[in-house]
Amino acid sequence: MREELQKYIDTIPAVRDVSQLKETFWINEKKIPNAEKEITMLRPEQIEDARKRLERFAPYLEEVFPELKETHGIIESQLREISGMKDFLNTAYGAGIEGRLMLKMDSHLPISGSVKARGGIYEVLKHAEDLAFEAGFLRETDNYRVLAEPRFQEFFGKYTVQVGSTGNLGMSIGIMSAKLGFHVIVHMSADAKEWKKELLRNRGVEVIEYEDDYCAAVEQGRKNSETDEMSYFVDDENSRNLFLGYSVAGERLQKQLEQQNIAVDSEHPLFVYIPCGIGGAPGGVTYGLKQVYGDNVHCFFTEPVHACCMLLGMATGLQDQVSVKDLGIDGRTDADGLAVGRPSAFVGKVVEPVLSGIATIEDKKLYDLMRGLLDREDIFIEPSACASFAALIRPKDLSGYVEKAGLADKMKNATHIAWATGGNMVPEETRKAYLSMGLA
Ligand SMILES: *Cc1c(COP(=O)(O)O)cnc(C)c1O
């Protein structure tokens, strides 16, 4: 396979760089103005449908998760300005950030402490609703609080939910499915952290461990599920439902920016940086943001050097027909949420006309950024989430994009949002270990 890829290595500088395990900043030349309206694989009404479904479930979620009392069952995170971190990036990395730097704290999302609490939980709720509708036990106009009654747990208990995961998706699917009463099996790849498996087992989730990577865990989960007609497989490689769950973030972010009196328009561009594994989370968020802000939002994905699957798939145009392993890259990274070697089969195509670019980052920098954020802002996020700063610490490449987009004189009015995708469930001991990583 490496031979077949040689022509891409020879002709596309970003592919050459990733093949040499260099940090890379790829600008998407296929981006088209106003293209979000022309995406046909999904429709904006589907975001609306997802938003309404989450609202229907809110009374149930409020009932069964005490941490959702305050928001009345809505799973949302804070958007916080981090000027101390901006100072750190400008000083330690010469980032030259002019406008405002903010953190979207999905690291602190209730229930499962990562961005997967958007897509993962949404997909489980959708499946539960489908089953309950079909059985005639629930109607759209009911107060969904009834789902907390034992008769529903009994009902869902006849069904199984399965998922393959590097950790965080398993946490969201596992916790939510178990709460509803499903039998749930999480197939965990070798990258998954021990504490996540433990936490799930303690909540009654069946965890099956694999020596192999993420794709292998997904494959086995899919096979297992196919042999059982009562089983539903959450398919991270293809799922539209996961994607739509993430995309609801677009409108939610718009509300938060409005509440904080932060303008986004042609004079005030918005830059958003989202860590990418298989692509569902950053793809869904990007799709949602593009529907709201169109050309005034500039979305970048970020990946570890060793798991640069989306960059490889998009830059070559091969999408899911290529794996980082085909380039001899091992896919191993401490950013466990991003340890994916082959991108989603459909996300790359959906975001192709709207994505601005992809930056990759070395693992050792993730720890430095983690310490910087903790020192300056007193916020802890996990290694995967620290990748959200990958593009900001490459000021030359970023200004190349900015100049081409004709935004150079507007950057002092810009808002940058680093999407912190996980962290607050990391146990104290693991945090300490992370914080001492890479120090001499
Ligand atoms: C899953 C995950 C991502 C990326 O989501 P994908 O859908 O795999 O692209 C980013 N950060 C963290 C912490 C994650 O768990």
The protein residue whose alpha carbon is closest to atom 1 in ligand 1 is 337
Ligand 1 centroid–CA 154 distance in Å is 32
In this structure, what token pair is assigned to residue 115? Answer: 């961005």
Ligand 1 centroid–CA 86 distance in Å is 23
Mutate to test the pocket of ligand 1, among 115, 237, 239, 311 (most ligand atoms within 8 A of CB): 115
Q: With helix as H, strand as E and coil as C, how does 335-369 read?
A: CHHHCCCCCCCCHHHHHCCCCCEEEEECHHHHHHH
Ligand 1 centroid–CA 337 distance in Å is 5
Ligand 1 centroid–CA 380 distance in Å is 17
Mutate to test the pocket of ligand 1, among 112, 234, 338, 366 (most ligand atoms within 8 A of CB): 338
What is the model's pTM? 0.97
Ligand 1 centroid–CA 168 distance in Å is 8
The per-residue pLDDT for 1 is: 66
- In this structure, the residues whose C-beta lies within 6 A of any atom of ligand 1 are 114-116, 168-169, 275-282, 337-338, 340, 382, 384-385, 421-422
Intervals of the chain under pLDDT 70: 1, 440
Mutate to test the pocket of ligand 1, among 111, 116, 163, 303 (most ligand atoms within 8 A of CB): 116
Ligand 1 centroid–CA 281 distance in Å is 6
**Amino acid in position 100:** R
Q: Strand 100-105 relative to strand 415-420: parallel, antiparallel, unpaired? A: parallel
CB 412 within 8 A of CB 95: no
Cα gap 340→352, rounded to integer Å: 19
The protein residue whose alpha carbon is closest to atom 10 in ligand 1 is 275
The protein residue whose alpha carbon is closest to atom 2 in ligand 1 is 337
Mutate to test the pocket of ligand 1, among 121, 122, 163, 168 (most ligand atoms within 8 A of CB): 168
Cα gap 201→218, rounded to integer Å: 19
Ligand 1 centroid–CA 117 distance in Å is 11
**Amino acid in position 173:** I
CB 180 within 8 A of CB 434: no
Q: Which atom of ligand 1 is nearest to the CA of 275?
A: 10
Cα gap 392→389, rounded to integer Å: 5
Ligand 1 centroid–CA 10 distance in Å is 30
φ and ψ of 78, to 5 deg: -75, 155
Print burial letters for 278-309: b (CB count within 10 Å at least 16), e (below 16): bbbbbbbbbbbbbbbbbbbbbbbbbbbbbbbb
Cα gap 102→415, rounded to integer Å: 7
Domains identified in the chain and CATH numbers = 6-42+68-112+248-436 (3.40.50.1100), 115-242 (3.40.50.1100)
Ligand 1 centroid–CA 422 distance in Å is 8
For the chain, the distance separating the N- and C-terminal CA atoms, rounded to the nearest angstrom, is: 39
Q: How far is CA 17 from CA 7, 9, 306, 309, 327, in A?
A: 14, 8, 12, 13, 11
